[in-house]
């Protein structure tokens, strides 16, 4: 395809153009992520670099040569497969060297029947990956001609870069496949985990419902027994009925916690804000828990600032009750509990402070997780659900809660709401 203009162009300029083209090819191939792109770049560049009338991209398919792609002035053999032994690309691969054919009619390696219908009269075929060829790149001319040494070298360089690109594509595809597989595995295991968690929550919820009715019956029957025995009730009987009632109440509280978590996880906890007097509300909540405090424990309460707030009183009650019962549970007999509240410019803060066992440093960051209990709670009843519920409640109210605790000195929880 050399025109008179090409011939007139100084050799140095042609070299530098081809070099630029080769560098450009390397850059394009380095970005190729699939075989289609590699083949498109190679077939176009093979023609550009050699000024050929056509180029083919051949891949080895066991003992056959697969003419996968082509770019030419007329149709060649795209999509066809030929035995390695009878085609020129097979020769280049088997001999691991370029095949140069100046005239197809004078070269015994050429299956003339396959070439006759095409425009091809001369060609150069180079193997891809010289050591162990995986394919070949062919360039074809419509006239008989002697290809230059430079053209052959350029074509072989292109084939070498192509070999590296094909390796890259393989690695990249393998990597993509692995990422896809891992992602799928992750999605599946997440899905399984979600299903298991939903199943667990449903089970706990159904079991909790089913337990509550018989527990209620035990509680009321115990009270009735006490009533029927009446005057005759002696110390032993009342000690045991007291134990039954205490245990049943504890179990009912645990079940209530399970059901609360279930309701929250299903997103069924609605927030309904009303206007009420905060100090009155806190005093009532303290009143509700006072009967359950340990011997000699008492709650001191102080309020400052405004009194009326706009909040969901049921949720706030749940939060406070949890904090107060923990303060009592994790403190010794006779220890006081300090509650303070403040309302300023719509900002509400409530704190509950105790002088109990405190929370060990290594447990502090986990105590809001469900079922988590600190190491120093052995022998103290609990499920590790209370603070988890508190945290979820606080989230529902768009508030914040934090605490500070010193082991064997005490703990203070502070709640901020707007």
Q: Which residues bind ligand ADP (CB under 6 A)?
A: 322, 326-327, 330, 354, 356-359, 367, 372-374, 377, 382-388, 411
Nearer to ligand ADP, 122 or 285 (CB): 285
CB of 273 to ligand ADP, least distance (A): 25
What does the alpha-carbon distance between residue 358 and residue 414 come to, in Å, rounded to a whole number?
15
For residue 26, the surrounding DSSP H or E stretch is: helix 11-31
Cα 177 from Cα 129, distance rounded (Å): 25
Contacts of 347 (CB under 8 A, 6+ apart): 416, 417, 418
Q: Shortest distance, CB of residue 276 to ligand ADP, whole angstroms? A: 25
Residue 201's SS3 state is helix
Are 388 and 369 contacting, i.e. CB atoms less than 8 angstroms apart?
A: yes
State the nearest-atom distance from the C-beta of 245 to ligand ADP, in Å. Answer: 20
Nearer to ligand ADP, 112 or 406 (CB): 406
The answer to whether the CB of 340 falls within 8 A of the CB of 394 is no
* Identity of the residue, 76 or 374, whose beta carbon is nearer to ligand ADP in the bound complex: 374
Range 282-319 burial, b when 16+ CB lie within 10 A, else e: beebbeebeeebeeebebeeebeeeeebebbbebbbbb
Q: How far apart are CA 199 and CA 192, in angstroms?
A: 10
Nearer to ligand ADP, 144 or 404 (CB): 404
Q: In b/e form, how buried is each residue of 60-80, taking b as 16+ CB within 10 angstroms? A: beeebbbbbbbbbeeebbeee
The Cα–Cα gap between 138 and 149 comes to 15
Q: Nearest Cα to 218, choosing from 255, 176, 267? A: 255
Minimal distance, residue 353 CB to ligand ADP, in Å? 9
Nearer to ligand ADP, 128 or 412 (CB): 412
Residue 51 or residue 382: which is nearer to ligand ADP going by CB?
Answer: 382
H or E element in which residue 263 lies: helix 235-265
Least separation in angstroms between residue 176's CB and ligand ADP is 45
Pairing relationship of beta strands 298-305 and 336-344 according to DSSP bridges = parallel
DSSP 63-81: TEEEEEEEEESS---TT-E
Least separation in angstroms between CB 416 and ligand ADP: 18
Decide whether 89 or 411 has the Cβ nearer to ligand ADP.
Answer: 411
CB of 307 to ligand ADP, least distance (A): 27
Work out how close the CB of 329 gets to ligand ADP at its nearest, in angstroms, rounded to a whole number.
6
Sequence-distant contacts of 384-389: CB under 8 A, at least 24 apart: 385/254, 385/257, 385/258, 385/261, 386/257, 386/322, 386/325, 386/326, 387/322, 387/326, 388/261, 389/257, 389/260, 389/261, 389/264, 389/318, 389/322
Q: Which is nearer to ligand ADP, 276 or 372 (CB)?
A: 372
**Nearer CB in complex with ligand ADP: 114/396:** 396
How near is the Cβ of 364 to ligand ADP at its closest, in Å? 9
């Amino acid at each position: 395809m050399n025109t008179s203009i090409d011939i007139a162009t100084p050799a140095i300029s042609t070299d530098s153009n081809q070099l630029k083209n080769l560098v450009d090819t390397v850059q394009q191939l380095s970005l190729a992520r699939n075989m289609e792109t590699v083949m498109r770049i190679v077939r176009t560049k093979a023609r550009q670099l050699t000024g050929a009338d056509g180029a083919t991209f051949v891949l080895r398919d066991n003992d056959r040569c697969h003419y996968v792609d082509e770019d030419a002035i007329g149709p060649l053999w795209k999509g066809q497969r030929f035995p390695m032994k009878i085609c020129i690309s097979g020769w280049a691969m088997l001999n691991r060297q370029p095949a140069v054919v100046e005239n197809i009619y004078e070269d015994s390696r050429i299956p003339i029947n396959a070439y006759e219908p095409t425009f091809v009269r001369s060609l150069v075929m180079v193997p891809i990956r010289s050591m162990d060829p995986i394919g070949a790149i062919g360039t074809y001319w419509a006239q008989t001609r002697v290809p230059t040494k430079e053209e052959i070298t350029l074509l072989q360089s292109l084939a070498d870069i192509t070999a590296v690109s094909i390796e890259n594509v393989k690695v990249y595809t393998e990597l993509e496949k692995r990422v896809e597989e891992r992602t799928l595995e992750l999605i599946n295991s997440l899905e399984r985990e979600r299903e298991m968690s939903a199943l667990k929550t449903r089970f706990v919820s159904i079991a909790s419902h089913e337990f509550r009715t018989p527990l209620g019956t035990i509680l009321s029957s115990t009270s009735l027994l006490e009533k029927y025995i009446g005057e005759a009730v002696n110390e032993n009987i009342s000690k045991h009925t007291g134990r039954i009632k205490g245990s049943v109440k504890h179990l009912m509280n645990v079940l209530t916690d399970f059901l609360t978590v279930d309701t929250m996880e299903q997103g069924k906890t609605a927030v309904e804000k009303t206007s009420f007097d905060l100090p009155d509300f806190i005093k009532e909540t303290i009143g509700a828990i006072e009967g359950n405090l340990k011997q000699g424990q008492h709650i001191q309460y102080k309020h400052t600032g405004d009194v009326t707030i706009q909040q969901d009183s049921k949720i706030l009650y749940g939060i406070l009750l949890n904090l107060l019962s923990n303060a009592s549970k994790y403190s010794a007999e006779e220890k006081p509990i300090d509650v303070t509240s403040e309302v300023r410019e719509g900002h509400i803060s409530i704190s509950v402070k105790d002088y109990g066992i405190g929370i060990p440093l290594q447990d502090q960051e986990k105590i809001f997780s469900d079922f988590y209990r600190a190491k120093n709670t052995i022998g103290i009843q609990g499920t590790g659900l209370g603070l988890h519920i508190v945290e979820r409640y606080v989230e529902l109210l768009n508030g914040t809660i934090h605490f500070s605790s010193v082991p064997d000195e005490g703990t203070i929880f502070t709640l901020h709401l707007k």
